[in-house]
Every structure is written in C-alpha cells, then in structure tokens.
Structure 1
Amino acid sequence: MSSTVSTRLERSDRPDGTTPGAGGTPAPVRRGRPRLFDGWGLLVLPLVGFLLVVFVAPLVTILARSFTDPATGLDNYRDFFGSPVYLDVLGNTFRISGLVTLVTLLLGFPYAYLMTLAPPFWRGAMLVAVLIPFWTSLLVRTFAWVLMLGDTGVINQALMSIGLIDEPMQLVRNQTGVLVGMVQVMLPYAVLPMYATMRQIDRRLVQAAEGLGARPVSAFWRVYAPLTLPGVAASCLLVFISSIGFYVTPALLGGPKDMMIGELIVQQLSAVLRWGFASALAVILLVVTGALLLLVSRIVNIGKLMGAQR
C-alpha cells in the first residue's frame, strides 16, 4: 500500500508525468500512433467528399476531355491559339472586364465614402439600395435593361421627348449595353469591400492633417485615400475575376463583336457540340485567371484582402 502511494506521489511530482526508472532516470513513455482524424475531425469528411464530387471531379473531367475529345492530343489548343477570332474573344473578355472594373470603381468609391459620412438612417437606406439587386434574378435584371435601352425604351423616349436627340441611340447590342448591364450587376461587389475598409479608418487623421495646414482635398488624397487601398484592391480583384466568366448579360445586351469567352463556351457546347474544344476554352480561362491571381499576389497580399488571418 505504501509503495503504491509513493509511486503516485513521485509521478505527480514530475512535470512530465513520468515515473523514475532505475538510477533516478525517467522511464520511457509509450506514445500512441497519431491519428489523422479524431472524433471531431471525422466531421470534415463529408465536406471533403462533397468538394471532390462537385468541384475536383468536374475539373479533372474537363481537363481530360480537352486533351482527348475528339482525338488525343493538343488539337483543341492549337485551334484556339491558331485562330485570330478566338484570340479576339479572349481579348474582348479581358477588355470588357477591365472597363467594368474601372467604371464600378469610379462609381463605387464615392458612394462608399458617402455611406461613411451619412447619418445612421441614410446610411442604412444607402446600404439597402446596394443590396436590392441581390434580391432580383440576374436574368430579370438583364431583360429589364434590354427593354430600357432599346430603340423604343424609356431612355431613348425620354431623350427624344426633351429634344436632346432626334432619333434613337444604339444603346443595346453593343459594348455600351454590355457595360451598363455588367456594371449594374457588379456595383455591389465593389461598394461593400470599400465601405468595410472605409468605416474602419479613423477620420481624426484627416482632421489632424487639416489642423497641420493641409487643404481638405490634399488631406483626403494624401492621408485618407492611401488607407482605402486594401478595400479598393479587394473590390477591383473581386469585380474583375467575376466579370471574366459572365455569360447572360453579354449574350443579351451585346453583339457579335462583343462576345466574351463564357458565351463562346456555351456556343461550342449547345450549337456546335464541340465538347473537347469547349473544355479547352474552360481550361484556358481557368489557367489565365490563376496566372492573374498569382501576378496580383506578387504585389498585394490576397489572403489579407479577403479577410484571412495571417
């Protein structure tokens, strides 16, 4: 009995919980083999399986089909890079996406800044105005723009009624219609990240700069604007990457010269039935997007922009 008690006391005296062996040295402790998943870790398995089925498996299938349909080889990629028409479509995709990003930035930055200055009631009203597009289907909004921008639409009729124009302007089936529709869809994605950044900026910094003799405009651009760069970068990245894959809006509001790669992929699938070539287009779009993200990551911290903890 006394030996058992002394052994327990010796074990409790040691910080590592080991018992002394011969010569006062601690006896080796057997450690169990580490397990990959414990009881809580098993909860991750359904999520991993879901991602494998709905994300990884389709990507692997598309990648394999781009090299094997209709024949094994690089014919689909040769057809794309060897045709100026397809390269123009890729150029249109990035040109239109860049213009949409620029316009949403020019419209969203002052709107987000006004939200930080507005009283709580009007700030909430402005926030609701930004979120309203999320409550309406993208297809419905696009068809609404088709009706508004048409030759007999509200905009042309209003301009003709006040005498600014004598005949309807061509606002649809061209790049103008595509930009209007895509900017309206992507504007909330530009406003919200910038507003989230601006609301965390201490406005006393601008007041301090003005107190030291800086003009209000100079204090804004030299003190306040640089602090908003993380939100601006996140907005631009989110809008540009999302705009690359647009299909419905360019298809309904644009013309043949404004075709984007998303519309080309659908055309190859539904009209021409070139599944292998459409898969190659999807792979090219994925690779180019990944390359852009890699390039941007060399300049800014993408993980920090998206709210990841470092």
Structure 2
Amino acid sequence: MAAQLAIKQPAATRWGGWLLLLPAAALLAVFFLVPLGLMVQTSFRNGIETYQEIFTSPIYGLVLGNTLRTAALTTLLCLLLAYPYTYVLTRVGPRLRLIMLGVVLLPFWTSLLVRSFAWVGLLQDSGILNGALQTLGLIDEPLQLIRTPLGVLIGMVHVLLPYMVLPLMTTMGQIDGSVLRAAGSLGAGPFKRFFRIFLPLSLPGIISGCVLVLVLSLGFYITPALLGDAKDAMIGETIVQEVTRYGPVMASALGLVLLVGTLVSLALLLAVQRIGSSRKGVQ
C-alpha cells in the first residue's frame, strides 16, 4: 500500500504542475496564437501573390534591407558602447556604480515618444547640436542629421542601449575576479586576461543583450518615423502605411515576414552561443 502511494504521488504532482500551466497557456492562445492564426489567414487571402510581391518588388526589398541593416547596426553600436561602459560600471565603487546605473536607466523614466521628439529638437538644422558646432566654429553650415539613417541610428541606440547594458552587467558582475588575478599571477598580461578569460565568460551577456536589442529594433516604429526619411523606411512604418491605405492583407504578410526574420535571427544568435559554449568546453 505504501509502495502504491509512493508511485501515485509523483504522478499527482506532475499533473498538478500541468494544471498550473493552463491559465498561462489559455492566455497565450487567446492573445498570441489566435491573432497569429488570423494574420496567417488574412495574408493568404489573395493566395501567395502577396508574398511574391514582397520578395520580388524592389520597394519591399528596399524596406526589408533597410530594416535588417538598421537593426544590425543598432545592435553593433549598442554593444560597442555598452561593453566598455558596463566593464567600468562593474569595477567601480558602490556609489559611482549607482550613479552610472542611474544614467543608464534614466531613459526608462521618460516616454519613448518624448525621447524621440527630443532628438528631433537636438538634431534638426536649427537644433542645439548644430548650433553648438557652429558656435564653436567646427562647421560653417548645419549638418544634415535629421531625416537621415544616421539620425535614426542615434535615436535607436539611445533608446535601446539600456537593454544591452543590463544583461552585460548581470553577466560581468558574476565573473570571479580571483580568476583574473590568478591568471595574472601565472604571467598573463592584461590583454591576454581579457581576451582569453573575461571576454569568453561575458559571452552569455553579449548574446542576451544582442538578442534583446535586435528583436526590439526589427519592429521599431516611432523613432524611425520621426527621425528618418520615407526612402529609408523600416518594416514597422510600412506595415502602418499598408493598414491605413490599402488594408490588412499586405500588412499581415509583412508582419509574418518580420516574425520569421526575427525567429531566424534568434536561431543564428543561439547557434553562435552554442558554438562558443562548445569551444569553451573543449578548452
């Protein structure tokens, strides 16, 4: 009898765990799977002609290219800026660390729309940045910063930089400093300690930050719409235009293309992480 109860106990516990997942599964089905199914159905309302137009039209090809290029550059710039900043942040004293972290988190306290409009005021021809450069005598004419890909990059990097810093800070904060000191005592120089020890140990934070920034930047709308030009439109802007002008068919197809592109990007980043982990295990 006791043996039968011991056997039944894990089964009951296992079914209880699945029952606890039912509310989350129902929520996911109602607010994700059902809308996704409706998008798929709508996108095939005209058959595969909609998708053929996306991949054969030079206009949509340009939009997809702009989206991928802008997202990749935004991710790269965020990584280049966040990595040294986070490295210093995790190695200073508690008070200075709190100040540096507050500087990073400050954008979260302001609306995305307000931040984007602030960059419009900063980057326009008569804005603060061009005015300061002309006052210092560094330029004779205002630089064309707004309605350009450079302006979009500046605004997106500013918005998405915290999403790169926070995963890096979590990973770098867990790296044991005694490992670096031990390597130094064995004759490893600063560069060797960084590239052979610190950089590989911080790779999970790099991958996590790149995933967050890349996924968010692929679907960005407000900042590119305010700071960019129509010829450099991203897929988020194009989806809004398709919905308001022509209806949901093309917009649904573009949304699915964006979803598939995001999943492919995630798969590539995870593959890179697995390769790095396997090499680390071999070493």
TM over 0.5: yes
Mind listing any 5+ residue stretches in structure 2 that lack a counterpart? 278-283
Given candidates 237, 240, 244, the residue that maps to 1:266 is 240
**Cα distance in 2, alignment partners of residues 217 and 291 from structure 1:** 34
CA drift at 1:40 = 7.2
CA 1:84–1:36: 2 relative to 1, 3 Å? farther
Q: Which residue of 2 aligns with 1:182?
A: 156
When structure 1 is superposed on structure 2, of 36-45 and 50-59 the one drifting more is 36-45
Letter in structure 2 aligned against 1:263: E
Q: Which residue of 1 aligns with 2:38?
A: 61
CA 1:194–1:17: 2 relative to 1, 3 Å? closer
Q: Map 1:119-130 onto structure 2 (within 5 A).
A: 119-130=93-104
Count how many residue pairs are aligned between Structure 1 and Structure 2.
274
CA drift at 1:242 = 1.2
Letter in structure 2 aligned against 1:116: T
CA drift at 1:246 = 0.4
CA contact under 8 A between 2:207 and 2:269: conserved in structure 1? no
Q: Greater helix percent: which structure?
A: 2
Q: Which residue of 1 aligns with 2:117?
A: 143
Letter in structure 2 aligned against 1:188: P
Q: Which residue of 1 aligns with 2:29?
A: 52
Letter in structure 2 aligned against 1:112: T
Q: Which residue of 2 aligns with 1:83?
A: 57
Letter in structure 1 aligned against 2:248: W
When structure 1 is superposed on structure 2, of 79-88 and 219-228 the one drifting more is 219-228
**Cα distance in 1, alignment partners of residues 4 and 55 from structure 2:** 68
Deviation sequence 1:139-160 (CA, Å, 0-9, x none): 1000000001011111000000
CA 1:214–1:290: 2 relative to 1, 3 Å? same
What value does the CA root-mean-square deviation take over the aligned residues? 2.4
**Cα distance in 1, alignment partners of residues 204 and 70 from structure 2:** 23
**Cα distance in 1, alignment partners of residues 66 and 227 from structure 2:** 15
Letter in structure 1 aligned against 2:144: Q
**Cα distance in 2, alignment partners of residues 94 and 65 from structure 1:** 25
CA drift at 1:124 = 1.1
**Cα distance in 2, alignment partners of residues 36 and 204 from structure 1:** 43
Letter in structure 2 aligned against 1:280: A
Given candidates 288, 294, 308, the residue that maps to 2:267 is 294
CA drift at 1:169 = 0.4
Q: Which residue of 2 aligns with 1:3?
A: none
Deviation sequence 1:232-253 (CA, Å, 0-9, x none): 1111121111110001111100
**Cα distance in 2, alignment partners of residues 54 and 130 from structure 1:** 32
**Cα distance in 2, alignment partners of residues 183 and 200 from structure 1:** 26
CA 1:42–1:213: 2 relative to 1, 3 Å? closer
How many percent of aligned residue pairs carry the same amino acid?
49
Q: Which residue of 1 aligns with 2:281?
A: none
Structure 2 length normalisation: TM-score?
0.89
Q: Which runs of 4+ in 1 moved over 4 A?
A: 34-43
Q: Which residue of 1 aligns with 2:3?
A: 16
**Cα distance in 2, alignment partners of residues 37 and 201 from structure 1:** 36
**Cα distance in 2, alignment partners of residues 191 and 164 from structure 1:** 32
CA drift at 1:123 = 0.7
Q: Which residue of 1 aligns with 2:280?
A: none
Q: Which residue of 2 aligns with 1:167?
A: 141
Letter in structure 2 aligned against 1:218: K
Bigger radius of gyration, 1 or 2? 1
Q: Map 1:1-310 onto structure 2 (within 5 A).
A: 16=3, 42-68=19-45, 71=46, 73-270=47-244, 272-301=245-274
Deviation sequence 1:169-199 (CA, Å, 0-9, x none): 0111001110000000110000010110001
**Cα distance in 2, alignment partners of residues 217 and 93 from structure 1:** 36
CA drift at 1:43 = 4.8
Mind listing any 5+ residue stretches in structure 1 that lack a counterpart? 1-10, 19-30, 305-310
Letter in structure 2 aligned against 1:246: F
CA drift at 1:64 = 0.3
**Cα distance in 2, alignment partners of residues 269 and 300 from structure 1:** 37
Q: Which has the higher contact order (CA 8 A, sep 6+)?
A: 2
